[in-house]
């Protein structure tokens, strides 16, 4: 039987924190010309923070945080973790949703019960992309639309909150680019590879992060299933594609890639779907992995 994780490069792999599944992986690594980088949790730390809450006139901020927090508390998404953490800190223990659904790569929905002086009321709540709310006939009113555009132009991720039939506010979330991402992108280019930023997030946010780390090619607002198609599309152009991801909504893309690299800080699903695991969870180890494979092959030949 083949060991699932085999260290190659006479222990050099272990030294640089790279786990390679098998020797055949080295060959695909050598041919790679394009490196697709997932944004959230890969180029960025994925440890997001809630930085602003914007409400429509007449909407209570505490109520918004309680309802949105209750749903997000049941989701593992980095945006959700940031919202649930901030909501708990500000309004205390959150209600348990009676009904909860994760709409992959788009948001969450459910029914949140509230106990008040007048007894128990239940609210049908949506938290997520603008398009998810629009689908439930909860378009953003003009002032929220404008506030969303402003926050996104500043590089923030913005999710909308609606309940009982209307959009009522925005949650503005900030992510942090990993300190080593720009250097890693420069080194990938130095090796003759083309970096591409791939994300489900908004185009404005994606462009801003891409500019910050030196990536020219950006594919944004892609649903989780669409990420596989982006990889297939690049392959159809004759490119040999590596994908670096954390497994949150990108595991199928990692599996489709000619070379899948999982952030060690990511999910088990990512590690399963990948050829290489980057133990340190930083993009410089992706560069190390590619360099190491090239050098190791050079030695074999």
40 touches ligand ADP (CB under 6 A): yes
- List active site positions: 38
80 touches ligand ADP (CB under 6 A): yes
Minimum CB distance to ligand ADP smaller for 244 or for 289: 244
Helices (H), the chain: 12-16, 24-31, 61-72, 78-91, 130-135, 142-153, 181-190, 203-213, 224-236, 251-256, 268-273, 283-300
Q: In angstroms, give the least distance from the CB of 297 to ligand ADP.
A: 32
User: Whole-angstrom Cα distance, residue 199 to residue 46?
Assistant: 12
User: Residue 94 gets which letter from DSSP?
Assistant: P
41 touches Mg ion (CB under 5 A): yes
Report which of 129, 223, 208 is spatially closest to residue 170, judged by C-alpha positions: 129
Q: Are 200 and 249 in contact (CB under 8 A)?
A: yes
36 touches ligand ADP (CB under 6 A): no
Report which of 283, 115, 130 is spatially closest to residue 197, judged by C-alpha positions: 283
**Which residues in the 156-215 window bind ligand ADP by CB under 6 A?**
157, 159, 199-201
Q: How far from 123 is each of 61, 97, 114, 129, 282, CA to CA, in Å? A: 16, 10, 8, 19, 41
77 touches ligand ADP (CB under 6 A): yes
- Which residue from 21, 66, 123, 129 is in contact with ligand ADP, where contact means CB under 6 A? 129
Q: In angstroms, give the least distance from the CB of 236 to Mg ion.
A: 23
The residue written with tokens 């994300």 in the block is: 199
Interface map 131-160 toward ligand ADP (x if CB under 6 A): --------------------------x-x-
231 touches ligand ADP (CB under 6 A): no
Minimum CB distance to Mg ion smaller for 53 or for 204: 204
Interface ranges with ligand ADP (CB under 6 A): 38-40, 72, 75, 77, 79-80, 105-108, 127-129, 157, 159, 199-201, 224, 248-249
């Amino acid at each position: 039987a083949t060991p699932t994780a085999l260290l190659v490069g006479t222990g050099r792999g272990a030294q640089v924190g790279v786990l390679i599944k098998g020797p055949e992986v080295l060959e695909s690594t050598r041919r790679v010309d394009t490196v697709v980088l997932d944004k959230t949790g890969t180029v960025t730390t994925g440890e997001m923070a809630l930085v602003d809450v914007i409400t429509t006139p007449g909407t209570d901020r505490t109520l918004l945080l309680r309802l949105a927090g209750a749903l997000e508390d049941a989701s593992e998404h980095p945006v959700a973790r940031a919202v649930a953490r901030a909501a708990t800190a500000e309004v205390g223990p959150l209600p348990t949703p009676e009904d909860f659904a994760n709409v992959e790569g788009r948001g969450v929905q459910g029914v949140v019960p509230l106990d008040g002086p007048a007894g128990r009321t239940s609210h049908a709540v949506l938290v997520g992309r603008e398009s998810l709310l629009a689908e439930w006939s909860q378009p953003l009113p003009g002032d929220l639309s404008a506030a969303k555009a402003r926050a996104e132009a500043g590089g923030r991720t913005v999710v909308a909150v609606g309940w009982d039939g209307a959009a009522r506010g925005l949650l503005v979330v900030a992510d942090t680019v990993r300190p080593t991402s720009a250097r890693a992108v420069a080194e990938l280019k130095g090796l003759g590879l083309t970096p591409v930023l791939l994300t489900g997030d908004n185009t404005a946010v994606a462009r801003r992060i891409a500019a910050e780390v030196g990536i020219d090619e950006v594919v944004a607002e892609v649903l989780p299933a669409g990420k596989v198609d982006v990889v297939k599309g690049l392959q159809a152009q004759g490119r040999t594609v590596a994908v670096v991801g954390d497994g949150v909504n990108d595991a199928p893309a990692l599996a489709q890639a000619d070379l899948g690299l999982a952030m060690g800080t990511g999910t088990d699903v990512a590690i399963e779907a990948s050829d290489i695991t980057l133990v340190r969870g930083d993009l410089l180890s992706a560069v190390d992995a590619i360099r190491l494979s090239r050098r190791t092959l050079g030695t074999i030949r």
